[in-house]
Chain A
Amino acid sequence: MSMNRGAMIALWILLGLVALSLAGPWLNPNTIDALDWSHVASSPALANAHWFGTDRLGRDLFVRTLEGTRMSLIVGLVASAVSLAVGVSYGAICGYFGGRTDYWMMRIVEILSGLPLIFFVIFLTVIFGRSEALLFVCIGAVGWLTMARIVRGQTLSVRRREFIEAAVASGAGPGRIIARHIIPNVLGPVIVYATLTVPQIILFESFLSFLGLGVQEPHASLGTLIAEGAVEMQGAPWILLVPGIFLAVLLLCLNIVGDGLRDRLAQEP
């Protein structure tokens, strides 16, 4: 399945980033938490091993940025996968059954949507302390909501189509109809939305990490790196620029690929 040229280029860049973040550490001898006192806040240089420079504590930025990218991707992909699974099932069930089931299930969605999320996260962090698990829980609690709404809407229109009636007439039960008839036919918009969810979640996680919630030391995510870099912006701009550029490129490519997928899927018969 090929998309337009821009999207294919973005896809390759994305794959390159993924490969880099996975293989990167092997390319560079430094570790993410090794403190190099001889090169504190040094600018990028090819001569020494610090290709992207170091941060305020002398940690190599190349390795840390790649770790950050890895972390952001993992959070983005895992949380998206969970929100996809939960959101699609939830939305399909609401849309198919309608009536009271739909009514109450959607009220739950609306309540969760109305939660002041940041306060919620801060509150939980105060109680349970900073942890990645908490991050996953918080993102997981809200990541699926919009997906559920979208799938519910799509299900409502697919439900009217004649082949659903035909399936009922063939004796299929609700489970089979939802799994084999409804979900495969709503996948188009779902896939597109899923690819756009990934950058949203990454951005959200970065934001939380930037605020000091979520990923803890010595691990890094693009958000924490950007937070650190913001402080040093005047004196050592690369500490901000490197993770910033990585984040921007990552998000841009994900969005372009999402658009390309939508255009491609819109052409299907």
Chain B
Amino acid sequence: MSEPLLKVRDLGVRFGATTVLKDVSFDLFAGETLGLVGESGSGKSTLARALLRLVPVSGGEVLWRGRNLLGCDAAEMRNHRRELQIVFQDPLSSLNPRMTAGQILAEPLSIFERALSLRDRQLRIDAMLERVGLGKAAARRYPHEFSGGQCQRIGIARAMMLNPTLLVCDEPVSSLDVSIQGQIVNLLFDLQRDFGIAMLFISHNLAVVRHLSHRVLVIYRGRQVEIAPRDTLFAAPVHPYTRGLLAAASGVALSAAEPPATDVPVPSGCVFRDRCAYRQDACAAAQPNLEAVGPEHLVACRRARDLMS
């Protein structure tokens, strides 16, 4: 097993008195896609931003190629940004409405590759527009002239301009029509295959995550509850929350209740305790640690062994 590109250890984020993320730890290897699944309020979008230092982090480490990103100064962080890129959820609002698609794509080049001649720059922009399926003429148009799916392609093109090594995708297709989502997912799949990028793919939609991911991480109210290879997670989930999610997504059953609103306090002990059908008294003691229950399969549940049988 080679060294992971990204090592996250005990990452925590707090906004004022509210803990949004706690003790999140995982690895990401080159060329793989890690799917991150969670409902609204689980903190998954915050995790995406925390990794790229777009929100302040209150604890833990984010080791990128061995360097802790959280300890870098501004200049070094800026340098790392060449390799770490992000695609946002809302295609239209992630693009500056006053810039044409061409200008939006030119910006990363102006920041990091200033020596490029104007002509070379234009060639790179045109090539990227073609690669994402938009065509050269798109460079002169403004975001509001494009559809949602096309805007998302521009967002992806922008992220790809500098040949990043890691692409964080924060719910990139959730705002799109079901009929168009596949176009974007397939584009990401192709880009990963062609450029060998590692991806962190975040979504609340299990069906979409299933297409792209090699491994899947499930997060609930800011804490990890399970991480497993994709096929294992979908065929034999262990954590009660994961099971509930899958059952709801398959239409087999409704999950116990809606995810609680953010003002409802997190229960003491296991974060899922108040919604769990398998809870015991011991679950009130402390949030269970992630334990291995199979190859590359970790679960944060005291009753993991029982549930597996």
Contact = CB atoms under 8 A, between A and B. Distances in A.
A181 interface: yes
A5 interface: no
Contacts of B107: 167, 170, 172, 180
Q: Which of A167, A171, A181 has the most chain B CB within a 10 Å cutoff? A: A171
A170 B81 CA distance: 6
B82 A185 contact: no
Contact of B54 (A168, A172, A185): A168
A171 B96 contact: no
Interface of B: 49, 52, 54, 78, 81-82, 84-86, 88, 90, 93-99, 107-108, 111-112, 142, 144, 155, 158
B82 to A, nearest CB: 7
B86 A176 contact: no
Interface stretch (A76-84, A157-165, A193-201): A157-165
A49 to B, nearest CB: 52
Interface string A180-195: 1100110000000000
B133 to A, nearest CB: 20
Given A163-B96, A181-B96, 16 more contacts: A162-B88, A163-B94, A166-B86, A166-B95, A166-B155, A168-B54, A169-B81, A170-B158, A176-B111, A180-B99, A184-B96, A184-B99, A185-B96, A185-B97, A269-B97, A269-B142
A173 B90 contact: no
A43 to B, nearest CB: 55
Question: Which 5 pairs across A and B sit closest by C-beta, in order of nearness?
Answer: A269-B144, A171-B81, A184-B98, A162-B94, A162-B93
Contacts of B52: 169
A86 B144 CA distance: 31
Interface string A144-165: 0000000000000000011101
Nearest to A161: B93
A132 B158 CA distance: 52
A169 B83 CA distance: 10
Contacts of B158: 166, 170
**Residues of A in contact with B, size category:** 10 to 19
B82 A171 contact: yes
B239 to A, nearest CB: 31
Given A171-B81, A269-B144, A166 B108 contact: no
A167 B85 CA distance: 11
18 contacts: A162-B90, A163-B93, A163-B94, A163-B95, A165-B54, A166-B88, A167-B96, A167-B107, A169-B84, A170-B81, A170-B111, A171-B78, A171-B111, A171-B112, A180-B99, A181-B96, A184-B98, A269-B97
A243 to B, nearest CB: 42
Contact of B86 (A169, A173, A184): A169
Contacts of A170: 81, 85, 107-108, 111, 158
A168 B52 CA distance: 10
A199 to B, nearest CB: 28
Nearest to B107: A170
A161 B158 CA distance: 17
B114 to A, nearest CB: 12
Contacts of A169: 52, 54, 81, 84-86
Given A162-B88, A167-B107, A269-B144, A173 B93 contact: no
A18 B83 CA distance: 55
**Best-surrounded residue of A170, A181, A184 (most CB of chain B within 10 A):** A170
Contacts of A185: 96-98
B3 to A, nearest CB: 25
A184 B104 CA distance: 14
A184 B142 CA distance: 14
A165 B51 CA distance: 13
A169 B78 CA distance: 9
B112 to A, nearest CB: 6
A55 B46 CA distance: 73
Nearest to B144: A269
Interface in A64-122: none
Nearest to B110: A176
A165 B112 CA distance: 17
Nearest to A187: B98
